[in-house]
Amino acid sequence: MKKVRYAIAIGAAPALGLTMPATLAAAATVHVPSKSIKKVIIPDRRACAGISVKSNHVGTGSKRLDETTFYQPPSCVTSASGLLYHQQVSLYMRIRGYLSGFKVYSHFDKHGYACNGGTRFFQSNIQRNLSKVCIAYTSQGSRRKVLYGPVCTNI
């Protein structure tokens, strides 16, 4: 049986005298697949920093709801906030993001807080390419029941 000597990298392996039968040497060759490998590109979310601001509102007086979107042009949305012009408990802020007319992001934020006589919510870490952001304040009891809004901002 003929033995073939193999060197693994450029280290001490040749000095160790690693050997294997010649019949196994042919089986140890590297095969490249004939089909092309699919590439999956994961966006670098660190590159999406909120440096621009757009806002919109709906309603008047104490029922006014302001929406503010923070984004990096042209359309990388980092965060969104809402401000209702009176204090109210038991609310969620529903955030929806759209791209080319399709809803691609949806989240409920339950961490609202009182701020200067109003009720504010702030949702960070959206980190998505969006063409429109909409918020609405909903009831905690039934998130489908919109109490204030919706208000949308085109990016």
Instruction: Specify the pLDDT at position 42.
Output: 45
Instruction: Specify the pLDDT at position 32.
Output: 52
Cis geometry, peptide bond prior to residue 21 (ω within 30 degrees of 0): no
Retrieve residue 98's tokens: 């759209």
6, 24 Cβ separation under 8 angstroms: no
Instruction: Specify the pLDDT at position 33.
Output: 52
What CATH class is the domain 45-154? mainly beta
Q: What is the mean pLDDT of each run of 10 residues along the chain (155 residues)?
A: 51 48 49 50 54 92 95 91 94 95 94 91 92 95 90 94
Closest CA to 51 of 67, 72, 69: 72
Instruction: Specify the pLDDT at position 36.
Output: 53
Instruction: Specify the pLDDT at position 78.
Output: 92
What is the residue extent of each domain of the chain? 45-154
- Taking only the tens place, the pLDDT of each residue in 9-32 is 444 444 444 454 554 444 445 545
